[in-house]
A = this chain, B = another copy of it.
Amino acid sequence: MQLQLSTWAEVEAYLRRSTGVIIPIGSTEQHGPNGMIGTDAICPEVIARGVGEAADALVAPTVSIGMAQHHLAFPGSVTLRPSTLIALLNDVVLSLARHGFDRFYFLNGHGGNVATVTAAFSEIYAQTSMVREGANHGGIRCKLSNWYMAPGVQQLSKELFAGVEGSHATPSEVSLTFFAYPDHVKQAEMSPRVAPTGTFYDAEDYRRRFPDGRIGSDPSLATVEAGRRLYEAAVADVARDYREFLAAA
């Protein structure tokens, strides 16, 4: 059930059977020579929709621009400053909490979001924790779940792309976008075939170390079929995890 495609009366009915919501969150940033700039938003979006059907979960619109400061040296990358993203997530959660939602499951597609989203949760909780009574929004629970860390996904990635998965512009995430948008499958020469690995600091530094944007990966191996298998593994894992989140004491 997609929030964007529902009426308010349908949401009202949903709230009578569940107070949980899935919020896909991604990024708009370079993903190497053949990866789409929207990769990190597309992946959690399509998985969330699958989970929405599998687990009767409401799926909010995707937060498609995240924290991608380190990719800004590549054309087309867009970032929110962490402070902006924190404000945005706060407003989304408080808006939905007004209606009675209290289990917020953020399905994330971008490692660069983890720190800021985690900080945002604390910013949200602090509004309750820092007052004497614990008034208003107490009882809210926010969870961050990275689809690419789901056990079934990790196992499948290892099986499919052992040694060339890397950590940015991976063949797994590129495959998933090919599965989602088969008309947009892209080919590109990778040179070197497997990108270098390492750490980085700011955007200039990132581009200097990883000239074509990839880190440790060979996404030329990405296929629609691999994407389909990863999608199914992700939906199964995330649906289970979401149900446990709702059921937890």
Contact = CB atoms under 8 A, between A and B. Distances in A.
Interface stretch (A49-57, A81-89, A145-153, A158-166): A81-89
A186 interface: yes
Interface in A5-49: 5-12, 15, 28, 30-38, 41-42
Contacts of A232: none
Interface residues of A, number: 92
Given A38-B61, A123-B83, A8 B76 contact: yes
A67 B37 contact: no
A154 interface: no
A197 interface: no
A4 to B, nearest CB: 3
A78 B95 contact: yes
Given A138-B202, A142-B201, A8 B75 contact: yes
Nearest to A248: B199
Given A7-B186, A119-B82, A213-B8, A75 B99 contact: yes
A1 to B, nearest CB: 11
A119 B122 contact: no
A89 to B, nearest CB: 10
A10 B184 CA distance: 13
A131 interface: yes
15 contacts: A5-B184, A7-B36, A8-B75, A69-B122, A78-B91, A78-B95, A79-B129, A82-B122, A83-B86, A83-B87, A83-B123, A131-B137, A134-B204, A141-B201, A141-B202
Interface of A: 2-12, 15, 28, 30-38, 41-42, 60-62, 64-65, 67, 69-70, 72-84, 86-88, 90-92, 94-100, 112, 114-116, 118-120, 122-123, 125-126, 128-134, 136-138, 140-142, 181, 184, 186, 188, 201-205, 213
